[in-house]
Structures are given as C-alpha cells and as structure tokens.
Chains A and B, each alone.
Chain A
Amino acid sequence: MADSNKTVRDVKFHVTRYNPETDAAPYVKTYTVPVREGMTVLDGLHYIKENLDGSLAWRFSCRMGICGSCGMLLNGRPTLACNTQILHIAETQLTVGPLPNFDIIRDLVPDLMSMFEKHRSLKPYVVRADEAEVNDPAGEFYQTPEQLEAYLQFTYCIKCGCCMAACPTLATDARYLGPMPLSAAQRYNQDTRDDGRPQRNQVTGSAHGAFRCHYAGECSRACPKGVDPAKAIQHLKRRLVLDYLRLARRKKACQKLHGPGQGQPPGNIPAAPPKTVTPSA
C-alpha cells in the first residue's frame, strides 16, 4: 500500500494576490508546495496558509464538492479547488486565480453578488397562482417520476459560479444573465408545481436573456456537478419561442392532495405488490 504521507514532488503554486487596501492591481506570488498523493488544490492552499503565508485569502466550506464555495481558475480552467487533485492537473507548475467575470474582493475571493442578483430576478422558487397554498400548505402535490426527471438534472446546481467564469458571452456582456441563473429559471419552469413561467419569460426573453447564448458550451464543460447549463438554456429558448408564438401546450400547475390520504391519486399508478412478510403479533 502506498504511503499517503510521502511527498511525490514539489509543485510551484502561482497564486493571484490582491489586497484592496494596499494593491492597485492583482499580482502573482509563487509558493512551493510539497504534494502528496491524493492532495487537492484546496489542501495545497491550506498548506500555504499554515506554513508559508498566513495572509492568503480564499473561500471554502465543505471540502467535498457540495457547497460550491471554492470555485477558482486552476491552470486557466474554472473548477472547484476541493474537487481537483493537484497531481491530476499539474506537473511542476500550477496557476491559481480567482474566478473571472466577477470582481475580486481579495486574493482568490470573487464577489458573486452579481450572479445572485440575476438569480433572484428570475424568481428561483415555485410560484403558484394559489399563493395561500404555498404559504400555508394543506397537502402534497402530485408529480410523476417523468415530471421530476424533466428538471431534476438542473437542481444539482451548487451556485459555484464556474459556468459564469467560463462563459465567453458573459465576458463581453456584463448584463447577460449567464448560465447559472438561466438554468435555474429552466429548472422552475419545468416544474409541474410551478405557475411562474410567464413572469420569468419577461426576464429570460429580454435583450440580455437566454438568446444571448450562442452555445459555446463552456458552461457545461466547466460545471463540476454535471448540470449541463447549456442544455437547460436551449430548452428554455425553445419554450420562449413556443410561448411567443402561442404554440406551447397549455398546462395547469399540478393539483394538490387535500390532506394526507384524502386526494384522488391518478389512475395509472399500479397497485403495490402484496406483502411478503407478515408482521408478528
């Protein structure tokens, strides 16, 4: 068994540094990190902070690709530092920078507020005409597995901003909504519990909305969770066109069960198989 504490080789980390109080512009500082087998870029940054330079700042939380905090530009590619092993992407040199297309707050910390403001403008939640039911739910909503699969892929987004950093359109049009907010809009548009598509269409169909995407596909390549924002945006555009031409099938939001066990389930649900174990008395 390999010794996981044994240093495989030294890797030079070329890290972008920026202190808003003292620096006019970002600059690159180089640190040498002894890399072990299985060591992630996030581990390397921790090594630098603990042993070489305590002033280095970055954002992280879960260390396992769930929280979306540690999105960075590693060797020119936006990805998660916790999800990337150093030896997989670097021989002896590794560049570490903040996600582009966002302002830099300090060192490797981007200001993601522009992304979240666009996200909020698209009402990323279930909107229903019967608002009282959302505020004070009296039962469950029907949803078949097929209806769930129509949007499930887009729910895995962790809002890390890697897609926004990779998008070439966003690089030249700061007002473009970008892949993350648009795929979130598609996620809720496809949800059968939702009534909010007409409201979202006002934003997604605007001049800086979905039709600014020209399918470079970088968002889908950059996404560390396989969300495929490019696919979501193309489906979103299709629905925008159908809505504009009034060709979309009219579909009411799914109805709710009025209390546990009181609703009428759809007729196509097969009966449960007979029990194979009889509980003992």
Chain B
Amino acid sequence: MAQINRHDNRLGLWGWLGGGRWGIERYAYILHRLTGLGVLFYFLMHIVVTSLRAFGVYLWIEGGVFHQPIFRVGEFLVYAAFAYHAFNGIRLVLVELGFAVGAPIEPVYPYKTSLDVQRPLLIVMMILAAIFLAVGGYEAIGLAR
C-alpha cells in the first residue's frame, strides 16, 4: 500500500494561545504555567546566589547589587507570581478533586458547563490573591519602612 503523506498540524507552544474561545479559565491556565516557571527560575537563581557565599560574594547585604531598585521590582514580581500561583493552585486542587464542578446534568442548549459552576471559586481565589498581594506587596516594595 502506498505511503500517504500527512502534515503534522499539532500546535505546540502556540496551542497555549490558539485554538479556542479564550474564557477566563484559559487565562488562568496560562498565567499559572508562566508564574510556575517564574517561581522555579527564582528558586534556581536563589540557589546560585546563596552558593556564591562559598566564594565570599555577598550580593544581598546593605548596599549590594540586590538593593538596586530593579531587584526590588523583581522581588515584588516573584511575590505576585507566588500569590497567584498559590491561590489558583488551591482552586485547581479543589476542582481536580471534583469539588465545585457540579454533578453531571442533562445537556440542554444553551449549554451550561462546569466552568460556570466553579467560577465563583475562581473569583474568590483571585480576590484572596489580590488581598495577599496588596498586604505583602506593600512590604515587598519597601513602603512599610
């Protein structure tokens, strides 16, 4: 039998952005991944920076590199990523354990999905993340001093 050529149409990373209707849960999904990668990058850098101590390099002391304004902003972004990732993660744990998605229903047009059912949970978690960010971020950008 003759071999039939096929074109690979898998979206790859573009698929995180394309091929859908862009509901709020999709923004939450992408932001969750980006903040996860951001926090991971911070942890790796943290290990590198603290290990420099073995060579007598102290970047975090008063007047050191990490007291430059850009690093204060970076610190705030890490904190913001942590706040979002943590509260959205709690939502995902609850949803993935079957809470807040509702029981199966008879699909009647216009269809109501589990996304509508869990949306209040998403909103509550985002409000909590915003409060957490406002309180902690106030400290992180140095306004509390």
Q: Does A pair with B?
A: yes
The residues in A between 99 and 117 inclusive whose CB is less than 8 angstroms from any CB of B are: 99-105, 110-111
For the residues of B in contact with A, the DSSP-based class is loop
* Highest count of chain B CB atoms <10 Å: which of A73, A150, A218, A238: A218
How many angstroms between the C-alpha atoms of A156 and B29 in the bound complex? 27
Within 8 A of A (CB), among B28-43: 28-30, 32-33
A226, B96: Cα distance in complex, Å: 20
A212 CB to nearest B CB, Å: 11
B68 at the interface (CB under 8 A from A): no
Q: Does B145 make an interface contact (CB < 8 A)?
A: no
Q: Mark B1-44, 1 if CB is under 8 A from A, else 0.
A: 00011111111111110111101011011101100000000000
Q: Is A222 at the interface (CB under 8 A from chain B)?
A: yes
Q: Give Cα A211 to B95, complex, Å.
A: 12
Please list the residues of chain A having a beta carbon within 8 angstroms of any beta carbon in chain B. Answer: 18, 20-21, 25-26, 73, 76-78, 98-105, 110-111, 149-154, 156, 165-168, 170-172, 174, 190, 211, 213-218, 220-223, 225-228, 230-232, 234-235, 237-239, 241
Best-buried of A111, A156, A235 by chain B (most CB within 10 Å)? A235
Q: Are B20 and A231 in contact (CB under 8 A)?
A: no
Name the B residues within 8 Å of A151 (CB-CB): 104
Q: In the complex, A165 Cα to B9 Cα: how many Å?
A: 10
Q: Which residues of A contact B92 (CB under 8 A)?
A: 214-215
CB-CB contacts of B102-128 with A at 8 A, as 1s and 0s? 111111110101110000000000000
